[in-house]
Structure 1
Amino acid sequence: MIQENFDRRERSSDQLQRQITATRDRMSHTIHEIGEELNPRHLLEHYVDEHSEALLESLNKRCSQFARKAAQTVKENPIPTLAILIGVALFARGSKQADKRRSPSPNQSAEESSPSPL
């Protein structure tokens, strides 16, 4: 009788230990999943996925407004716009020519391309 009670307690103790281990494993898995959900990269990806359509729509709307305003400005002020475009083109051309003067040609050694000391 005493032995039977002891065996029952031992079996119930083993059973409780297995249940505790299983519960601990489940909780560990759940905590890991929660940690993954709260990861900043995951949160950002989730936000972008949820709001990407609205973000693209807003960006498209702003670009369209900018293009309309730019076109209207050009129509209202064609001569200043032309002057600005000519200035930008000349600046770009001058910048390109200056780059060519600074870089040595393939046939020229580095010593020949460097400026001579005064």
Structure 2
Amino acid sequence: MKENTDLANQLDAMVSQCQRMNAGKIRMSFKRKDGYTIEITARRTEGKFDDEFSDKELKYIKKSMIEKIGSESNKEADDMAFDIINVCQELLGEPQFESVDEIINSTV
């Protein structure tokens, strides 16, 4: 129970730091010995930041990349478009694609 209280206090301290600095968001990251990293972000609710996109923007990016993928015979470009599409999928809460072919054959 004490550990939960300590964590809650640390999270409250993050929010207080954001408020003191008048920051929209602040991030903390902890690397663990077991190969995992814990990332915690405190952010102003409904804040819009330059490193984030709205769902509408993500859908436009995804659509643009889907139109591009397979239209060039450049595997590197297709692989990059594939990665971008899957990031959009993840951020939209949609299942990721397994391959470029799956994207080309889908009716997204």
Give me the TM-score of the superposition, normalised by structure 2. 0.32
User: Which of the two has greater strand per residue?
Assistant: 2
Higher RCO, 1 or 2 (CA under 8 Å, sep at least 6)? 2
Decide which structure has the larger Cα Rg and report it. Answer: 1
